[in-house]
Each structure stands twice: as structure tokens, then as C-alpha cells.
Amino acid sequence: MLKELCELQGVSGDEGSVRDYLRSKIAKYAAEIIEDPYGNLIARKGKSQKPRIMLAAHMDEVGLMITGIEKKGLLKFQAIGIMPNVLLAKRVIIGKERVCGVIGHKPIHLAKDDELKQVPETKNLFIDVGASSREEAAKMIKVGDYATFDTEFRENGDLVCGKAFDNRIGCYILLQLIQKTDMPLCYAFTVQEEVGLRGAKIAAYRVKPDIALAIDTTSSGEWPTEKDIAQYPVIGKGPAITIADRSVVCDQKLVGILKETARYEKIPFQMKRPMVGGTDAGTMHLVGEGVRSAVIATPARYIHSPMAIASKKDIAAAIRLVECGIRKIMEKGELWA
């Protein structure tokens, strides 16, 4: 199921195929399923009770949007959530017809010395689909089409490799919880997180949760850092609990319960490096009169690139931490009164 999720196309604003897949997988488990006008998929399981808890995982991935077609058939594009240093010479799939292309740049033997010393800017890159004219390319591609990386999902022992781990891993975790637990929760599969945490805000307004947990993916970093600088999470050591990032200061009671639960259940976990990144919690906590919010994220190497690497053990531990943590939150109902 994780392989199927990761190989779907779903750049921010074009999450339809991911949404359809998820709906098909949760239809027989949910008491109610809503697709809101913005494209979020919200599922309710069990009878609503206090505290009302919402889990959110965003469906969208980073990618490209076609912005123009040149006279000789080359495609201009805008990157969505991707830095140009990971783009050159990568294979992509474009649009509903899944047209194959490759990201190109001026050949190295034609570049000037100063150009060879710099990472090409996105505006100087193009996608080549083999067309020889604007007219030929326009038969296959139109401005506004989305492109994703042509990456095959692979497994190697405990490791999985593929695209869109941010945040199809989170979607996979929510699927597992919907299918295999009886917890009375609202599950929100949100849109457009990568372009401003947009869908989660709308979903939270509809659900009006007392507590919201963003289930996401976070960058790992297995490289040396300066002394006394907080480390990034690393793969293989469990999910990461966020204290604060650039979008939210998490609720201290929730963070405490998650840590307490992980220790009691002997679930490996890490703390995310503070003040780095952002998640759907960044907008959910601001809804209405305020929503107690926290984040549980699975570490993965090289997110926001053509291929990421994650640990199956970390994903399994994240599922356990979310489930056990929520049950503990429900037990402590007096804290949220």
C-alpha cells in the first residue's frame, strides 16, 4: 500500500489521484467521508466524543508545474517545494497522460567557466519531451500541467526508497489506523501543505477539534554537525516528536504525554531539532479559539528530492506511538476540560 501511495502523482493542487485512492481504501471502515470544496478528504470513525481528536496527513508532494512551451518544443517550468540543485538530468512524468521527459540545461561543453561553478537556476532549466516544435509539444502537454519525478519504489531490507515520502508515509499511517483500530477519531487527508499549510486550516474549521495531531515526515541528517548544535533526527531510531518548529509551538501537555507513552510502551522515539520546518499543525492550532496541537513525524533522508529513504521500523513505531498516544490522551480527558 505504501508503494502504491508513493507512486501516485499528487503535486500540490493536483491531489485527485491520491484522494481517490485513499477514499477507496477507507470506504468500508469510515462512518462518514467528506470531500470539502478545497479537496481535503475527511473521514470520521466511531461516535464523536470529548475530546474531539483530529489526525492530519497531507496528500500533496513537491513537484513541478509547466509554465510555458518554447519554440523548439522545450518546456519551461516552476518548481513547487524543490531546490534547483536536485533537478538537473532527472526523469519526470508530466500530466494525466504521463508523458515522459528529462530536465535539461545547457551542455557542459558549451558552458562558460563561471557557469560551471554555479548551480543552475530553475529559470535556466527546461524539460525535454522529445518534441521538435511548440506545436508538437502542445499536442502532449499544456501550460498548467504538473510533473512528478519518475521514481520507482524499492525495498532493501529495513529500508524503503521512493518519491513523495513527504507525506505519503503519513497518509499510510492514517490508513493503517483507520483499518486496524476502533478509535473514534476524525482523519483529515489534507491538500496543499507544501505551498502554505492551506488545506489543514480548512479541515480544522470544519471538524472543530479539541486536539489535532499532524502526522508527517521530517528530514533526517546523518552527517556531522557543529558541537552543541541540536542534531537532526536519524532514520532507524524511531519517529520524531516536535517541541517547536517554524510554524507552531506544540502543546506541552501533549508533547509530555507522547514522550511518556513512548517510554512506557518501549517505543523508540527522537526529538525533532527545534525551530526547523513546518507542518499542518502550523495552521490547525490557530483555528477557532485555538486547538491543542502536536506533531509526530517519521524521519527520512533526502525529502523534497527525486528519491528519499526511510526505515520500515520507524514507520511501524510511528503507527504504535500515534495509537498508544491517542489512547493515553483519551484516558486523561480531565486535562482538556
Instruction: State the DSSP string of 141-154.
Output: --TT-EEEE----E
Active-site residue flag, 61: no
Grid cell digits, residue 66:
509547466
Record the pTM: 0.93
Q: Could you give the CA distance from residue 293 to residue 187 in angstroms, rounded to a whole number?
A: 14
> Considering the domain 2-61+163-336, what is its CATH architecture?
3-Layer(aba) Sandwich (3.40)
Given 3-state DSSP classes, what are the helix, strand and coil percentages for the chain, each rounded to the nearest 5? 30, 25, 45
Domains of the chain, residue spans: 2-61+163-336, 63-149
Does 63-149 match 2-61+163-336 at the fold level? no
**Residuewise pLDDT in 10s, the chain (337 residues):** 899 999 999 999 999 999 999 999 999 999 999 999 999 999 999 887 889 999 999 999 999 999 999 999 999 999 999 999 899 899 999 999 999 999 998 666 556 666 666 777 888 899 999 999 999 999 999 999 999 999 999 999 999 999 999 999 999 999 999 999 999 999 999 999 999 999 999 999 999 999 999 999 999 877 666 665 657 889 999 999 999 999 999 999 999 999 999 999 999 999 988 888 899 999 999 999 999 999 999 999 999 999 999 999 999 999 999 999 999 999 887 777 6
ω into 306 cis (within 30 of 0) = no
Q: Which residues, other chains included, contact 275 with Cβ-Cβ below 8 Å and sequence gap of 6+? A: 244, 245, 246
pLDDT number for residue 149: 96
pLDDT number for residue 109: 55
- Other Cβ atoms closer than 10 A to 226: 5
Of these residues, 193, 194, 222, 260, which one is catalytic?
193
Amino acid at 100: C
Q: In CATH terms, is domain 63-149 a member of 3.40.630.180?
A: no
Burial label for 200, CB within 10 Å (0-12, 13-18, 19+), is buried
pLDDT number for residue 230: 59
Grid cell digits, residue 33:
467521508
Q: Could you give the CA distance from residue 192 to residue 35 in angstroms, rounded to a whole number?
A: 14
8 Å CB contact between 50 and 112: no
- Other Cβ atoms closer than 10 A to 252: 11
Residue 100 CB-half CA count within 13 A: 3
Handedness of CA 268, 274, 277, 280 (dihedral sign): positive
